[in-house]
Structure 1
């Protein structure tokens, strides 16, 4: 199927944002932004779990329970992500790289399922990764699934309100093209946050 003209720039933007984020996480080089490659080591477990300030929300073993101001651990399996129902705590808790990457991965995987999959995937069942390598692999898979869902969209789908049935956002009220735009913004801004956390860790956040 031919990609609709309106979708092409958004698809290109998504591909570029994901490639930059994965390069920043996995190395061996990343796009520095000026056309040159910068060496980077793969994300470590220490970085994945690093809490830059006290009271961070993160990814935790379910047996350890949620962080302060969180009410539960979202996700399925032995690990979960700190969460609370609306209205969220104020001021918002600082979240770790693990939290942000898990949030992105869940959003991509579940939106893909609710667009071209079973339309039954839930946060309660979505697996949360307990180490850095698994988290990067899960993000890669989630991004690929969402991209495949985008490739299935024609012009009619782009204009259809509720084409994506993702139950944790405004998808039921928005044309699919607007949801595609929103997902790109999520990848861009959380990707930038993740990159900054890597820089802060490298500059002085190493344990010990």
Structure 2
């Protein structure tokens, strides 16, 4: 199906933001923004789990339990992501690259499911990556699933309130076009955060 014209720029923005983040994580190069390729060292397990400040929220083995001020480990599998039911801790804990990548991946997978899938998945159904390779692969899977949901949307779907029934946001009350915009900004801003954490990790101790 040909995407509705008003979806096209948002789809192109999503593709750009995802590819830029994927390149920033795995390389071998990323576009600097002026057409020059910058070499990228692929994300390592040590960097994936790096906690730059005390008291971080991250992803952890379930056997180790939640981190500081967290009360649960969200996700499926032997690893989980630090979390706490509302009201959340104030001030918010600093979150690691692993936490942000897991959060972003979960959002893409669940929103895709609650748009064109079973509409039944919860946070407890989405595995949390134990290492960098698993996390990058899961992000790729989530991005592909969400993109497929976008390509399935016609003009009527874009204007439908609750076309996405994602249970952890305002999706059931919003038209789908607004949700598409929101997912793009999530990808853009978390992608920027992850890129900055990569820069900080590379510069540590210099």
The normalised TM-score by structure 2 is 0.99
Q: Deviations over 1:145-187 (max 9, x none)?
A: 0000000000000000000111110000000000000000000
Q: Does 1:86 align with 2:86?
A: yes
Q: Does 1:63 align with 2:33?
A: no
1:118/1:205 Cα in 2 relative to 1: closer, same or farther (>3 Å)? farther
SS of 1:91's partner is coil
SS of 1:172's partner is helix
Equivalences for residues 142-153 of structure 1 within 5 A: 142-153=142-153
Q: Gaps spanning 5+ residues in structure 1: where?
A: none
CA distance in 1, matches of 2:116, 2:125: 18
Contact 1:52/1:205, CA 8 A, preserved across alignment: no
Q: Equivalent residue for 2:50?
A: 50
Q: Deviations over 1:24-48 (max 9, x none)?
A: 0000001111111000111000110
Q: Equivalent residue for 1:164?
A: 164
SS of 1:124's partner is helix
Runs of 4+ in 1 over 4 A off after TM superposition: none
Q: Gaps spanning 5+ residues in structure 2: where?
A: none
1:113/1:77 Cα in 2 relative to 1: closer, same or farther (>3 Å)? same
- Quote how far apart the aligned CAs of 1:86 are: 1.1
Instruction: Please give the root-mean-square deviation of Cα atoms over the aligned residues, in Å.
Output: 0.9
CA distance in 2, matches of 1:173, 1:62: 34
Equivalences for residues 1-208 of structure 1 within 5 A: 1-204=1-204
Q: Deviations over 1:80-125 (max 9, x none)?
A: 0000111111111000000000000000000001100111111012
SS of 1:77's partner is coil
CA distance in 1, matches of 2:89, 2:155: 40
SS of 1:199's partner is helix
